[in-house]
């Protein structure tokens, strides 16, 4: 879920002076991509008026996306890749004007890589409710103001239907594979159940079939951290004087989430009880290195994300229940017709391996029988964003099956 973490694998674990300088100064009220910003490599699909499961409608919705590779004349080489909570459509290229971060899967998508763009045509959308070009809370509503907290409650199913509208715009009626991790993995499962005849293969990576009470609890405290920020103003902060947005609440939510994206052993081994400055924290004035790490990434996050968007997407994750209206999770899983790879991470404390075991046990097309592939990684949930060799090998196996 912490999609931009490749840079964090440096041995020392200390935040460098260059990194500190990169987050100095006040961030904008919202880190969302806005109309008038450089488009970068985004493309846009207009999907018309979109009605959510709640019954509310957003007029003239659109999905931002990027493509990689070339679509074959037979339109039979397309792979759809869904991003995690705070990701976007950039899979593998460097940051540039209008695109604040490097690609989040550079070791998996590209020429000669497991998802080989010399062979496959890859489509990566920014999900509905996102803040990097797709319609979401930071988009302008018909009254000329941002949707903000008025944006409709969004479910994983809503997002998948929006992605399906994108596929229709692209003229792709069957995908060779649909792939995603974390929140993206939730969408993969939903796609396979909603549109069983429209993909040959799925890869469900570090994701559950239903959000547990523990996961919902974690989400709820992050949401409350944002809403408790005095600068949140009920979600109406986009035109605040001097760009005064809910930076503290959003950064705190990010810090909370980071604790569940990494494993205890990785944080302990990396930071131990070292401190960032020359002052011992026990004597006052100093900071433990792990505190500086969390603070840096919280502050950095406010420069590329939007607080209302974070709430919208986290609530969508909490609502995730593949079995809702389908006679339960097991029945929903058993309805999937695609070949499937189910991958878990042994140190994942956000979506632990038991979640993937449930999925694998009941997917008829699981290529590993009734068990998931479980990779060993010290990086916890973030392992699917860092362990390119291991994850790439498993995805290559699925694509060759």
| Residue 314 parent element (H or E) | helix 307-318
218-275 pLDDT, tens digit each:
999 999 999 999 999 999 999 987 778 999 999 999 999 988 898 877 777 777 666 6
Tell me what the mean pLDDT of segment 382-399 comes to.
97
Percentage of residues of the chain with pLDDT beyond 70: 89
Domain 12-30+212-318 sits in CATH at 1.10.1740.110
Q: What is the pTM of this model?
A: 0.91
- CA–CA separation, 196 and 180 (whole Å): 16
Give the HSE-up count for residue 367: Cα atoms under 13 Å, Cβ half-sphere.
Answer: 20
Q: Domain-by-domain residue ranges, the chain?
A: 12-30+212-318
pLDDT value, residue 268: 73
Mean pLDDT (the chain) is 91
- CA–CA separation, 347 and 383 (whole Å): 9
| Range from 223-227, 282-286, 318-322 carrying the lowest mean pLDDT | 282-286
139-167 pLDDT, tens digit each:
999 999 999 999 999 999 999 999 999 99
- The end-to-end CA distance of the chain, in Å, is 27
Active site (catalytic) residues: 182, 348, 381
Question: Percent helix, strand and coil across the chain, each rounded to 5?
Answer: 40, 15, 45
Tell me what the mean pLDDT of segment 9-38 comes to.
66
Are 184 and 90 spatial neighbours (Cβ–Cβ below 8 Å)? no
**β 109-110/177-181 pair status:** unpaired
pLDDT value, residue 9: 37
């Amino acid at each position: 879920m912490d999609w931009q973490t490749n840079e964090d694998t440096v041995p020392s674990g200390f935040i460098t002076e260059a990194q500190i300088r990169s987050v100095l100064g006040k961030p904008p009220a919202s880190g969302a991509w806005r109309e008038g910003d450089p488009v970068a490599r985004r493309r846009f699909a207009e999907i018309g008026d979109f009605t959510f499961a709640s019954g509310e409608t957003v007029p003239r919705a659109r999905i931002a996306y990027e493509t990689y590779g070339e679509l074959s004349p037979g339109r039979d080489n397309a792979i759809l890749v869904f991003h995690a909570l705070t990701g976007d459509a950039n899979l593998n290229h460097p940051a540039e004007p209008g695109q604040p971060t490097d690609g989040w899967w550079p070791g998996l998508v590209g020429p000669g890589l497991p998802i080989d763009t010399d062979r496959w045509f890859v489509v990566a959308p920014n999900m509905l409710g996102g803040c990097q070009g797709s319609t979401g809370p930071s988009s302008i509503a018909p009254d000329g103001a941002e949707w903000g907290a008025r944006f409709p409650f969004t479910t994983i199913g809503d997002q998948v239907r929006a992605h399906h509208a994108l596929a229709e715009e692209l003229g792709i009626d069957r995908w060779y594979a649909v792939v995603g991790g974390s929140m993206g993995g939730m969408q993969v499962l939903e796609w396979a159940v909603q549109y069983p005849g429209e993909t040959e293969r799925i890869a469900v990576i570090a994701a559950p079939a239903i959000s547990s009470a523990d996961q919902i609890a974690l989400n709820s405290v992050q949401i409350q951290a944002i809403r408790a920020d005095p600068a949140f103003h009920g979600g109406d902060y986009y035109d605040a004087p001097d760009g005064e947005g809910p930076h503290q609440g959003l950064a705190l939510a990010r810090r909370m989430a980071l604790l569940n994206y990494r494993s205890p052993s990785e944080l302990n081994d990396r930071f131990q009880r070292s401190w960032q400055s020359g002052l011992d924290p026990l004597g006052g004035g100093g900071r433990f290195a792990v505190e500086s790490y969390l603070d840096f990434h919280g502050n950095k996050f406010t420069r590329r994300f939007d607080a209302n968007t974070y709430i919208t997407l986290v609530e969508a994750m909490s609502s995730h229940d593949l079995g809702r209206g389908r006679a339960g999770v097991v029945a929903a899983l058993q309805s999937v017709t695609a070949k499937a790879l189910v991958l878990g991470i042994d140190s994942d404390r956000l979506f632990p391996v038991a979640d993937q075991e449930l999925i694998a046990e009941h997917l008829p097309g699981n290529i590993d029988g009734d068990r998931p592939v479980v990779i060993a990684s010290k990086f916890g949930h973030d392992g699917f964003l860092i362990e390119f060799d291991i994850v790439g090998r498993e995805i290559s196996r699925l694509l060759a099956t």
